[in-house]
Amino acid sequence: MKHLLFVFLLFSLVIAGVGCSADLPANEREIKKQQLETLKKQLAEIKSKIDELEAELRNEEKLDNRVNVEVLRLNPTRFEQFIEVTGNVATDQNIIVSPETAGVIESVSVKEGQVVSRGQVLGRLNTDIIEQSIDEVKVNLQLARTLYQRRKNLWDQNIGSEVEFLQAESNMKALEKRLQGLEAQLEMAVIKAPINGVVDELIQRQGEMAGPAIPFARIVNLSDVYITADVSEQYLGKIHQGDTVLVSFPVLGINTTEAIYRTSSVIDPDSRTFSLRVNLTNQNQKLQPNLMGELKIRVAEITKALVVPSLFVKKDFKGEFLFVAENDSNNVFIARKKYITTSFRDNNQSVVDSGLVPGTLVISSGYDQVTDGTFLNIDKQL
């Protein structure tokens, strides 16, 4: 202020002197004009010097009030984006067994929890009526064969009629077919295991009425199981058969890495999802149908990406931004507000597509205390 006051007084005296010199002779007026020009130049130099000094004082004040920050040097790194979905364990060999014919259960040959092999007898139905019918047909068939043979011998000698021979042959073949049918019914009365597995449940007991529409037992093979999950259609082009998936079962403490066996070819119109299947190895048979599991699936991968913690990224009416530290010409670090664009986000990390370059110093601590142009004191660089 003292400098400005001095300049103002000096300038006032000069103006007053020029005003008083209006009545002076021409040569004296010329001298005054030259003096005025000199003083104006001096005034301009003084004002410039004042501006420089004031700027230096302001900078010194700012330097004295520098904000302590920590910075992170931005280098290209590998980035992966994952999604997590919930799925259910299932098996293709979870079968309800029923007899092929109706009848009263005569015996049950297995117990719940018993390991059975394909073709092993599980139970039998009462077959007394079928067996009686078989005995009756066998007797009639024996007679029919005898009659046929005799008719054939006579026919070969051109004795008797052809009709009698054909009737004997037809009767014999009809009884043979009936015997085959009854024997098939007798075989169907034996309930057998269609697959290798474990008898998970015996639904019926001895003495009850069984039939093709009535469940007799459940057999489950847990050696080969799989897990299915529904995924949003927005990831349809990012998940493919053969992709690696991390499958975990928190209740059992099991974690395994498997490959996607297949993805469905149809989008569910209601949930807008598609399903995927991952085959699992169940050596200890701890995985059971309907057990819930979690699948972690990679949907994006960038080998060289500029990645910053999502916490650093702020947003205003212009878009996303963060603060970086820049070194000015005087080797002083200053905070700069940089507008950026981001794309993928995962695990609190964001991929920066534009606005930053490798080597940029991103303010990682203290960014909430700075504005654009704040002088910085860097405590730590990561």
Residue 240: Cβ within 10 Å count:
11
Query: How would you classify the pairing of strands 121-125 and 254-263?
Result: unpaired
Asked if 239 and 289 sit in the same domain, the reply is yes
**Is residue 161 assigned to a domain?**
yes
pLDDT at 67: 84
More confident residue, 311 or 379: 311
Answer whether residue 84 shows pLDDT above 80. yes
Structural domain boundaries enclosing 138? 127-188
152 part of a folded domain? yes
Identify the residue with better confidence: 170 or 84: 84
Q: Say which amino acid occupies 78.
A: R
Label the pairing between strands 349-354 and 254-263: unpaired
In a domain, 214, yes or no: no
List Cβ neighbours of 147 (8 Å cut-off, separation of 6 or more).
Answer: 168, 171, 172
Q: Residues with Cβ < 8 Å from 215, sequence gap 6 or more?
A: 96, 97, 98, 203, 204
**How many domains does one find in the chain?**
4
Domain stop point among 136, 169, 188:
188
CATH number, domain containing residue 265: 2.40.30.170
Residue 85: how many CA atoms within 13 Å on its side-chain side? Answer: 22
Q: What confidence score (pLDDT) does residue 13 get?
A: 47
Q: What string of DSSP letters covers 245-297?
A: EEEEETTTTEEEEEEEEEE-SS--TTT-EEEEEEEEE-TT----TT-EEEEEE
Q: Is the pLDDT of residue 256 over 60?
A: yes
Q: Are residues 137 and 284 in the same domain?
A: no
Whether residue 295 is found in the same domain as residue 330:
no
Residues 142 and 164 in one domain: yes
The residue from 268, 302, 336 where one domain ends is: 302
Alpha-carbon distance 219 to 198, whole Å? 5
On whether both 289 and 315 belong to a single domain, the answer is no
202 lies in some domain:
no
- Give the lowest-confidence range in 74-78, 135-139, 247-251: 135-139
36 in any annotated domain: yes
Interatomic CA distance for residues 184 and 187, integer angstroms: 5
Mean pLDDT score, 330-353: 88
pLDDT beyond 80 at 296: yes
86: pLDDT strictly greater than 90: yes
For the full predicted model, state whether its pTM sits above 0.85: no
CA distance 6 to 43: 10
Give the three-state DSSP class for 115: strand
In whole angstroms, give the CA distance from residue 110 to residue 108. Answer: 6
Provide the pLDDT for residue 251. Answer: 92
- What's the CA gap between 80 and 57, in Å, rounded? 50
- For residues 295 and 249, membership in a common domain is answered with yes
Which band of pLDDT confidence, cut at 50, 70 and 90, is reported for residue 125? confident
Are 264 and 337 members of one domain?
no
Mean pLDDT of the chain: 83
Q: Are residues 274 and 229 in contact, defined by beta-carbon separation less than 8 angstroms?
A: no
Please report where in the chains the tokens 């650093």 appear, as a residue.
Answer: 312
Q: At what angle do helices 128-156 and 162-188 cross, to 10 degrees?
A: 160
CA-nearest of 100, 98, 103 to 130 is 103
Q: What is the full DSSP assignment across 45-101?
A: HHHHHHHHHHHHHHHHHHHHTPEEEEEEE---EEEEEEEEEEEEEE-S-EEEE--SS
Q: List, edge to edge, every strand of the sheet that includes 217-220.
A: 94-97, 217-220, 197-202, 115-116
Domain of residue 320, CATH code: 2.40.420.20
Residue 56 has a pLDDT of: 62
> What average pLDDT does this structure show over 263-289?
90
pLDDT tops 70 at residue 65: no
- Whether 357 is in a domain gets the answer yes
Does residue 349 share a domain with residue 287?
no
What pLDDT was estimated at residue 228? Answer: 95
* Pair (88, 227) in one structural domain: yes
Plot region of 197 (φ>0 → left; ψ -120 to 50 → alpha; else → beta): left
Question: Both 272 and 308 in a single domain?
Answer: no
- Residue 338 to residue 349: CA distance in whole angstroms: 18
Lowest mean pLDDT among 159-173, 211-225, 361-375: 159-173
Report yes or no on 205 lying in a domain. Answer: no
Q: What's the CA gap between 334 and 67, in Å, rounded?
A: 10
* Cα 16 to Cα 114: distance, rounded to the nearest angstrom: 122
Span 39-60, pLDDT tens digits: 778 787 888 787 777 666 566 5
Distance (Å, whole) CA 380 – CA 362: 12
Last-in-domain residue among 302, 328, 359: 302
State residue 5's pLDDT score: 45
Residue with tokens 């093979």: 221
C-alpha to C-alpha distances, 202 to 109, 110, 115, nearest whole angstrom: 11, 9, 13
Task: Give the pLDDT mean for 60-68.
Answer: 66
- Considering the domain architecture, whether residues 308 and 352 belong to the same structural domain is answered as yes
More confident residue, 131 or 19: 131
Whether 194 is in a domain gets the answer no
88 and 237 share a domain?
yes
Tell me the average pLDDT across 140-165.
Answer: 78
DSSP 159-187: -S-HHHHHHHHHHHHHHHHHHHHHHHHHH
